[in-house]
């Protein structure tokens, strides 16, 4: 009797484990539909314009028009092609269906429209906060004597100026 109970229990466990469906990976087509709904190509164009401005300032001898072509149509397609597997690893087919539903909704479209502005404002605030935080921490280190007034590490207390070695005439 125990033997049969053990066999039945093993079958139930095996059936239960085998019956658990592995979450389906989204197809490339689904992921590309998501990219389209999210206006990913337009986001890349915006990134390209911002990058062109930065590069124009960093390398003023190169015309800004040169950098405008950094992410052209071919580049956009290449970049999206490389991003598809990332989305396939992190989202299930069911997730992508839900994301498509959300991003097609009015709220989803508002998120897409407002996200570049909120991210830009957030980055600006983050940079400002980071600058203020770094200044406060440097000031604290100066007060403790870890850093000198110019923000550099002072010479260690036991360090002395090295004595020059006299040259010998061999």
Domain annotation covers residue 163: no
Q: Does 99 map to a domain? A: yes
N-term to C-term CA, the chain: 101
119 and 98 in a common domain: no
Same domain, 32 and 95: yes
Q: Dump pLDDT digits (tens) for 113-137.
A: 999 889 889 989 999 999 899 899 8
**Contacts (Cβ under 8 Å, ≥6 apart) of 63:** 56
Q: Would 84 be classed as within a structural domain? A: yes
- Count of helices and strands (H, E) across the chain: 7, 0
Q: What share of the chain is helix, strand, coil (3-state, %, to 5)?
A: 70, 0, 30
Same domain, 48 and 85: yes
Q: Do residue 51 and residue 119 come from a single domain? A: no
Reported pTM: 0.63
Q: Are residues 43 and 115 in the same domain?
A: no
Per the structure, the count of domains in the chain is: 2
Tell me, yes or no, whether 91 and 112 share the same domain.
no
Note whether residue 138 is domain-resident.
yes
CA pair distance 33, 36, nearest whole angstrom: 5
Q: What is the pLDDT of residues 50-92, one digit of tens each?
A: 888 888 888 888 887 788 778 788 888 999 999 999 999 999 9
Least confident span in 6-20, 44-58, 103-117, 152-166:
6-20
Domain range for residue 50? Answer: 23-104
Asked, for residue 161, whether it belongs to a domain, the answer is no
């Amino acid at each position: 009797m125990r033997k049969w109970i053990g066999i039945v229990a093993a079958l139930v466990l095996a059936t239960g484990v085998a019956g658990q469906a592995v979450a389906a990976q989204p197809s490339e087509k689904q992921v590309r539909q998501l990219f389209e709904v999210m206006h990913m190509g337009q986001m890349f164009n915006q990134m390209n314009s911002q990058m062109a401005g930065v590069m124009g300032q960093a390398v003023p001898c190169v015309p800004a028009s040169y950098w405008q072509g950094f992410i052209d149509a071919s580049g956009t397609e290449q970049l999206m092609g490389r991003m598809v597997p990332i989305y396939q690893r992190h989202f299930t087919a069911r997730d992508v269906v839900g994301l498509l539903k959300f991003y097609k909704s009015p709220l989803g479209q508002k998120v897409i429209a407002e996200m570049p502005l909120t991210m830009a404002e957030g980055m600006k605030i983050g940079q400002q906060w980071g600058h203020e935080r770094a200044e406060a921490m440097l000031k604290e280190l100066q007060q403790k004597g870890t850093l000198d007034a110019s923000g550099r590490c002072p010479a260690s207390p036991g360090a002395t100026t090295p004595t020059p070695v006299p040259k010998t005439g061999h």
